[in-house]
Chain A
Amino acid sequence: MKRFRQAKWSEPVIFEIGSPNRKGYSLPLSDRDSASRRDYEIPESLRRHHAPELPEISEVEVVRHFIRLSQMNFSVDNGFYPLGSCTMKYNPKINDVISSLDEARLIHPYQPEDTLQGMLEVIYKLASWLCEITGMHKFSMQPAAGANGEFTGTLIIRAYHKLKGELQQRREIIIPDSAHGTNPASASMAGFEVVTVPTDEDGCVDIEALEEATSHRTAGLMLTNPNTLGIFEEKIREIEGIIHDAGGLLYYDGANLNAILGKIRPGDMGFDIVHLNLHKTFSTPHGGGGPGAGPVGVKEHLQHFLPVPLVGYDGKKYYLDYDVPHTIGKVKGFYCNFDVLLRAFVYLLTVGAEGLKRISEISVLNANYLACKLSKIRGFEIPYGKDKPKKHEFVLSCSPMKSDTGISAKEVAKRLLDHGVHAPTIYFPPIVDEALMIEPTESASIEEMDEFVEILTSISNEAYNEPEKVLKAPYNTSVSLVDEVKASHPRTLCLSWRMYKKRLKGKTLKL
């Protein structure tokens, strides 16, 4: 096994660096005198009296500070990152080069359409490619992230039933208990009540329970397929029948699309609305938490509900199309996260149709390989759908280990960090005890996966033989176990440097 030691800089908080009158900027002051100050004197009552208490630092200090911080941050570029449902695949660098071009960055959304033809062409073409990939009729590229896309989708469900005069009656959205937390949160943001349906032994939606939950009150069903257990909902056509017969709409959470590219399309499964996460399946870097993009596609009968503007093409020119009769309006400012769309555009040009299919095959093969190997390690098991092929991810449980040794999923995750791999998603989905949700993606090589197996084997050995060692992990990261309880405790809560200083003064805090 490789040895890993993350940088540890004891880097001060930025407010502790620098000294008065030091500066890291230069401004075109000579040009300032174009108007003399008395021409624009604004009254004292509108002026700031105390300068903001920002640090005063030189350029080199700023650079070193942030470079040191970067060295204390693990990323896909550093190593294996099997964070389930997040699809942390490699992000090709050409994507960033293109999105950094002046023609992509130095453009204003309100410029005349004639001067934005390049941007509009990228949006239009990408939308049409996503239609082809998902089997949907039309895409809105506006949503800024997956959750923003879900919100868009649930607003469309709302508008659809409202137009039919059934919104008063259709108050419920059905969501399986294995769903991403954003699904119920989005449904609730759009004003719906959430009805949860359980998962059966095979890891799929319990059809009987679904039938029971469905009624004239059902507005729709939000489903991830393959679901968060990495299992394909085989009875999707039955599910579709139940929901559509009851007058509801079918919503597809595209977070897990990486498993089925070129194999089966949400549109062909019967879904009415789809959102995709370009920062997952389509390789745009996640940026430590965004920006992402969550475009939403719909079937033809829902196209008039999409947010405005859409991008159209009249055979000669691309244009912003505000002519959407039942539009839900807008879900974010302007048109889209263009820099993110552009990266996905480059990615799709690079891989093509066959490449996409290959991506799914390899990511699924990788997941099955790891599932097979890891489930043999002492203390681990795969509780749902044992005999079913996994898709792009699977959920391992260390429940046996927990009852044998007391070592929990969290502790396994922390110990993993010591080996220079990121931990899987843990305690998710909530229906699996001591869950470790693992998604290797197509980027993982067999050597990398074998090493991961070796690491988890050694952690299992430690758990059974020297559990203390696992309990106190991690050792090799920038800091040891972080006190997250103190961080959120009302007496010690510090959400800014200003709050921190106030708490120190008030002596409610000792750091």
Chain B
Amino acid sequence: MKEIGINHVDELFSDIDEEIRLKGSMNLPGPLSELEVKRETERILKKNRTIKDLDSFLGAGVWPHYVPAVVDYVASRGEFLTSYTPYQSEISQGLLQALFEYQSMICELLDMDVANCSMYDWASSLGEAARMTARVTQRDKFLVPHYISQDRLMVLKSYAEPAGIKILEFSQNIKDGQIDLEDLKKKISKDVAGVYIENPSYLGFLIESPEAIAEITHEAGGLFVVGVDPISLGILRPPGDYGADIVIGEGQPLGNYMNGGGSLLGIFACRDEVRLIRQMPGRIIGITTTLDGKDKAFCMVLQTREQHIRRHKATSNICTNEALCALRAAVYMALLGPKGFQELGEIILSKTYYSIMRLSEIEGVRVPFFKAYHFKEFTVNLDGTSKSVQEVNRELLERGIIGGRQLSHEFPELKQTSLYCVTEMHTTRDIDRLHDSLKEILEG
């Protein structure tokens, strides 16, 4: 204080109007010692029941997957954890390279050329994708399928509406979930910036003719946007293979925990086309060399798209993203490699079908509701039983099981239907127990 010529620290706040200054102190708990904080926080968190306490069959956008120990180990390194966005390339090569590797490995999974180093989550990626299609095509309509998560749709609308983008829905066949191509053809026009599908869909079924949708979209001059669960891509066709221009999705399954729904990892990728790349939102890392040409090096690129340079003309306002989640995904993808993704995909597929088979044995239960191929998630309909989803879920919870997500609020026409999810985390015994419990509840 002597150095700067003051006697009391209050002098540094003398420019704040006395009248509006805070008088007295804030009403907050603490301070507590580390031990007390730990005790108190643990006491509160214990009120949560985890998927270790209960057998949970919830998915619907966030899914239980195993996180290898190496992922936690690497992500807890302070050098990554406590660094900022890598503005100073020379001293941040480690993170820059790791994020470049994330982008590169995600591209391989999706069969795309370019990925950014993350958005907040799948939902915000969808919002940004709609806006990007409008910027690229200078059109103002964005078409979405009937069966998508209503939460995700709400986020999409928040992003789209202020940009003057109209969200229109095309129908899906209620028997097999497949896209109604005739309806799509009716709705597509020269005003449509983009057409969006999810594969696997929100309700777990696979879309069997994605090329046809790509073709209809491209013929009308629109962009084809596909949303994916990346864990499916060890065995399912990647969107780049059937004509996607932009691919988005939820990267949480790649080495990230469910965290009660956040932090998550928004995937955002596109093809190597200048008109697309220039309109990409978010941070992108590129590979280059040092100025003297001696070493390879990495840095953030195309920053003229971004808010800190372009201000109100930026492609998006995003800056802080989900870099650490992307790092986790990078470690995860490196550990699994091509064979790991393939084996994991087969395991999940087999568990999906085992579950479908077992639950179908129960009188009056229709599994899946949609006659289509499924991956990881499937619909269970109880219309043929005497109980509602709500009743069944309550009784399941009494038995230590969290049943599937009730869908009647989102899709009333599906009546007593819920969405179940199985992954490598569910053992055959867990599935058998679900079967036994459901049977007991429904058949008495």
Contact A479 B290 (CB under 8 A): yes
The residues in B between 307 and 339 inclusive whose CB is less than 8 angstroms from any CB of A are: 307-314, 316-325, 327, 330-331, 333-339
Determine whether the beta carbon of B237 is less than 8 Å from that of A48.
yes
Residues of B within 8 A of A330 (CB): 123, 151, 154-155, 158
Q: How far is the CB of B110 from chain A (nearest CB, A)?
A: 9
**Residues of chain B with a CB closer than 8 A to A77's CB:** 78-79, 81-82
Which of B113-121, B190-198, B362-370 lies at the interface with chain A? Answer: B113-121
Task: Identify B62's interface contact among A53, A57, A63, A334, CB under 8 A.
Answer: A334
Question: A205 at the A/B interface (Cβ < 8 Å)?
Answer: no
Evaluate contact between A352 and B290: CB separation under 8 angstroms.
no
Residues in A with CB closer than 8 Å to B296 are 13, 511
A-B pair count, CB < 8 Å, reads 692
Closest chain B CB from A362 CB (angstroms): 8
Q: How many Å from the CB of A393 to the closest CB on chain B? A: 13
- Residues of the A chain whose Cβ atoms lie less than 8 Å from the Cβ of B304: 488
Would you call B104 and A101 a contact (CB within 8 A)?
Answer: no
* Interface-centre pick from B4, B34, B237, B286 (highest chain A CB count, 10 A): B286
Q: Which of A106-149 contact B (CB under 8 A)?
A: 106-112, 115-119, 121-122, 129, 132-133, 135, 144-148
Chain B residues whose C-beta falls within 8 Å of the C-beta of A81 in the assembled complex: 84
Chain A residues within an 8 Å CB radius of B117: 289
> Does B122 interact with chain A (Cβ within 8 Å)?
yes
Cα distance A378–B138 in the bound complex, in angstroms: 52
Report B-chain residues with C-beta under 8 Å of the C-beta of A277. Answer: 320
B52 and A102 contacting across the interface, CB-CB below 8 Å: yes
Contacts of B342 in A (CB 8 A): 51
Contacts of B428 in A (CB 8 A): 31, 34
Partner of A105, one of B235, B257, B347: B257
9 smallest CB-CB distances across A and B, nearest first, come from A334-B261, A109-B261, A287-B324, A352-B30, A289-B323, A77-B78, A73-B94, A40-B353, A352-B31
> Can you sample 25 A-B contacts with CB below 8 Å?
A39-B354, A47-B235, A51-B342, A52-B111, A55-B334, A56-B338, A73-B94, A106-B52, A107-B50, A111-B56, A112-B397, A185-B317, A187-B312, A237-B17, A285-B81, A290-B323, A331-B124, A331-B158, A333-B123, A338-B262, A350-B30, A389-B12, A479-B290, A482-B291, A487-B287
Q: Is the CB of B151 within 8 A of A478?
A: no
Interface assignment of A23: CB less than 8 Å from any CB of chain B: yes
Cβ of A62 within 8 Å of any chain B Cβ, yes or no, is: yes
Question: Which stretch in A89-97, A244-252, A460-468 binds the other chain?
Answer: A89-97
> Is B186 located at the chain interface by the 8 A CB criterion?
no
The interface stretch among B35-43, B139-147, B176-184 is B35-43
Q: Are A500 and B335 neighbours in the complex by a CB distance under 8 Å? A: no
Indicate with 1 or 0, residue by residue over B44-66, a CB within 8 angstroms of chain A CB atoms.
Answer: 11111111101010101110100
When the two chains form their complex, are residues A86 and B84 in contact, meaning their CB atoms are under 8 A apart? yes
Chain A nearest CB from B286 CB (Å) reads 4
A37 touches B84 (CB 8 A): no
In chain B, residues 393-430, which have Cβ atoms closer than 8 Å to a Cβ of chain A? 393, 397, 402, 405, 424, 427-428
Contacting pair B120 A148 (CB below 8 A) = yes
Query: Whose C-beta in chain A lies nearest to the C-beta of B72?
Result: A100
B61 contacts across to A, CB distance below 8 A: 333-334
Give the distance to chain B from A210, nearest Cβ to Cβ, in Å: 17
Contact A345 B41 (CB under 8 A): yes
Q: Is the CB of B288 within 8 A of A147?
A: no
Q: Contacts A48-B238, A189-B316, A372-B3; is A500 near B287 (CB within 8 Å)? A: yes
Closest chain B CB from A324 CB (angstroms): 12
Whether the pair A368, B105 counts as a contact (CB closer than 8 A) is no
Contacts of B68 in A (CB 8 A): 24-25
Quick check: B51 and A181 within 8 Å, CB to CB?
A: no
Are B113 and A495 closer than 8 Å at their CB atoms? yes
Contact A333 B79 (CB under 8 A): no
Query: Within residues 78 to 93 of chain B, which ones have a CB less than 8 A from any CB in chain A?
Result: 78-93
Given A48-B234, A108-B62, A477-B91, CB of A186 within 8 Å of CB of B317: yes
- Kindly report which residue of chain B lies nearest to residue A4, judged by CB atoms: B91
Q: Which residues of B contact A355 (CB under 8 A)?
A: 30-31
Would B405 and A110 count as touching, CB distance under 8 A? yes
Contact A286 B84 (CB under 8 A): yes
Kindly list chain B residues whose C-beta atoms are within 8 Å of the C-beta of A145: 120, 318-321
Residue interface mask A179-206, B partner, CB < 8 A = 1: 0111011111111001000000000000
Asked if A483 meets B291 with Cβ closer than 8 Å, knowing A54-B337, A357-B25, A495-B103, the reply is yes
Complex CA–CA separation, A151 to B163 (angstroms): 12
Q: How far is the CA of A71 from the CA of B163 in the complex (A)?
A: 43
Q: Any chain B CB within 8 A of the CB of A163? A: no
CB distance B41 to A346 under 8 Å? yes
A366 to B197, CA, bound (A): 53
Is there a chain A Cβ closer than 8 Å to B14's Cβ? Answer: yes
Is A353 at the interface (CB under 8 A from chain B)?
A: yes
Given contacts A55-B334, A107-B258, A388-B15, contact A88 B34 (CB under 8 A): no
- Contact residue among B292, B301, B350 (Cβ-Cβ distance under 8 Å from A493): B301
Cβ-defined contact, A481 with B90, below 8 A:
yes
Assess the B325–A291 pair: CB atoms within 8 A: yes
Would B155 and A329 count as touching, CB distance under 8 A?
A: yes
Closest Cβ–Cβ distance, residue A142 to chain B (whole Å): 9
Interface centre among B104, B233, B260 (most CB of A within 10 A): B260
User: Given the complex, which residues of A lie within 8 Å of B11, measured CB to CB?
Assistant: 389
How far, in angstroms, from A71 to B92 measured CA to CA in the complex? 9
**A67 interface neighbour in B77, B92, B208, B333, Cβ under 8 Å:** B77
CA–CA, A346 to B44, complex, Å?
12
A103 sits at the interface (CB 8 A): yes
B158–A329 contact, CB under 8 A?
yes
Q: Which of A261-269, A296-304, A397-405 contacts B (4 or more CB under 8 A)?
A: A261-269
Q: Decide: A289 near B84, CB < 8 A? Known: A147-B318, A495-B103.
A: yes
Contact between chains at B350 and A109 (CB < 8 Å):
no
Contacts of A23 in B (CB 8 A): 335-337, 339-340
- Known A10-B295, A51-B342; further 12 A-B contacts with Cβ < 8 A: A27-B340, A28-B347, A54-B109, A54-B336, A77-B78, A145-B120, A184-B311, A189-B163, A237-B20, A331-B155, A350-B31, A423-B88
- B168 at interface, CB cutoff 8 A: no
Chain B neighbourhood of A354, CB < 8 A: 25, 31
Question: A73 to B402, Cβ gap below 8 A?
Answer: no
CB distance from B374 to the nearest CB of A (A): 9
Closest A residue to B117 by CB, please name it. Answer: A289
A74 and B321 CA atoms in complex are apart in Å by 19
The interface centre, meaning the residue of A289, A334, A479 with most chain B CB atoms within 10 A of its CB, is A289
Cross-chain contact B208 with A76 (CB below 8 angstroms): no
Known: A27-B340, A286-B84, A333-B152. A132 touches B320 (CB 8 A): no
A332 touches B95 (CB 8 A): no
For residue A376, give the distance in angstroms from its CB to the closest CB of chain B: 11
Say yes or no for B76: interface residue by CB 8 A criterion: yes
In the assembled complex, B166 has its CB within 8 A of some CB on chain A = no
A59–B69 Cα distance when bound, in Å, is 10
Question: Contact between A6 and B91 (Cβ–Cβ < 8 Å)?
Answer: yes
Tell me the bound Cα distance from A372 to B22 in angstroms.
27
Q: Which residue of A lies closest to B294 (CB)?
A: A480
- In the complex, residue of chain A having the shortest beta-carbon distance to the beta carbon of B103: A496
Structural contact, B299 and A482, CB atoms closer than 8 A: yes
Residue B343 lies at the interface, judged by CB distance under 8 Å to chain A: yes
Give chain A nearest CB distance to B387 CB in angstroms. 17
- Out of A118, A151, A350, name the residue touching B317 (CB < 8 Å): A151
A80 within 8 A of B: no
Interface status of A272 (Cβ within 8 A of chain B): no
Min CB distance B200 to A, Å, is 10
Known contacts A24-B70, A75-B82, A265-B22; A336 and B261 CB within 8 A of each other: yes
From A190, which residue of chain B is reached at the shortest CB distance? B162
CB neighbours (8 Å) of A182 from chain B are: 307-308, 317, 319
Decide yes or no: A185 and B311 within 8 Å by CB, A110-B60, A356-B26, A369-B4 being known contacts.
yes
